[in-house]
Structure 1
Amino acid sequence: MKALHLIPVDNRHHYINFLLLADEDETIINQYIHEGEMYAISYEGTEIGVSLFTFPSIETVEIKNLALSPAFRGKGIGRQVLNKAAQVFKERRFRDMIAGTSNSSIENLAFYQKAGFRFYDIKKDFFTSYPEPFYENGIKGIDMIIFRKSIQD
């Protein structure tokens, strides 16, 4: 297995271009960029993405933003990031990991399910608060689909 590391970052705005790969609106990103913990994703010594985790409860860690450069997608690296993050947060006694994605993000819906996450909730009309509507796969982003996975198993 190739060397993958999650490296804590301080200068979060340096990673805005990565964050924009997973969230279409910079105004929205700026509302949460300083929450939780942010990690650069380093693969074989090269920064290839970013992950931002927040903590909605004492037992739950949320994947607020997870983005990989397009050239590194579809190679199992995203799943390795999830597994490494699950290890880190399990050691800190978190029980569950959650992630939200748009109803229009077909690739993300498949990604989280393949990684062992289950449908957990729907935040109806979540993306209607975004300044500009967005479409993926010919589908308008309207609802946020929430996934959940136990990390204590």
Structure 2
Amino acid sequence: MKIYKIDKGNQPPMELLLLADPNKDYVDWYIDRGSCYVAIENEQIIGVYVLLSTRPGTVELINIAVAEKEQGRGIGRQLVEHAIRCAVEQGYETMEIGTGNSSIGQLALYQKCGFRITGVDRGYFQEKYEAEIIENGIVCRDMIRLSISLAR
């Protein structure tokens, strides 16, 4: 598997990006302002993430997704680790990430990669999304915020 940054002129893999965030307007906004990276295996895009500079020294890892048929192979972890390396190389000091309270697997993954919970945006998904989101039998209501220090 190879991970590459795609050029702004190239079309990002929207079907994968929408797995991570079902609101196309939000995804378009992220893509326009951030840097999109894709994981390719056997000439197929199997994963994606976006890095978005949010304030001096801080970058947010957003829209991380793995093709459904490829999940469970450790690709998500490889994407997170790649994003961390890229952020360090670009001189960022902190990386942030947010996920839903119902995203049990993602919460575990991010913590295994060294992220720590820094806060909760209560009601975030109910306020920002029209349709109710249910994962793992849990209503997704709150955004769990995590971060990792990149200072070595």
- TM-score when scaled to structure 2? 0.88
Displaced runs of 4 or more, over 6 A: none
The aligned counterpart of 1:17 is: 15
Contact 2:61 2:83 in 1 (8 A): no
Using the TM superposition, name which of 93-102 and 65-74 deviates more.
65-74
The aligned counterpart of 2:93 is: 95
Is the aligned partner of 1:136 residue 2:130?
Answer: no
- What are the equivalent positions in structure 2 for 1:2-151 lying under 5 Å apart? 3-11=1-9, 14-43=12-41, 45-128=43-126, 129-151=128-150
Unaligned runs of 5+ in 2: none
CA RMSD of aligned residues (A): 1.8
Using the alignment, how far apart are the partners of 1:127 and 1:114 within structure 2?
A: 24
Contact 1:12 1:33 in 2 (8 A): no
Using the alignment, how far apart are the partners of 1:66 and 1:103 within structure 2?
A: 16
Using the alignment, how far apart are the partners of 1:87 and 1:31 within structure 2?
A: 24
Contact 1:9 1:39 in 2 (8 A): no
Return the offset for 1:13: 5.0
What percentage of residue pairs aligned between the two structures are identical? 33
Aligned to 1:39, the other structure's residue is in SS state strand
Unaligned runs of 5+ in 1: none
Return the offset for 1:27: 3.6
Question: What are the Cα deviations for residues 31-60 of structure 1, in whole angstroms up to 9, with x where unaligned?
Answer: 433121111222354311211111111111
Aligned to 2:72, the other structure's residue is in SS state coil
Contact 2:52 2:59 in 1 (8 A): yes
Counterpart code for 1:106: I
- How many pairs does the alignment contain? 151
Using the alignment, how far apart are the partners of 2:6 and 2:12 within structure 1?
A: 13
Question: What are the Cα deviations for residues 62-121 of structure 1, in whole angstroms up to 9, with x where unaligned?
Answer: 012101112222222221222222112112210111110000111111111111111111
Using the alignment, how far apart are the partners of 1:150 and 1:73 within structure 2?
A: 27
- TM-score when scaled to structure 1? 0.88
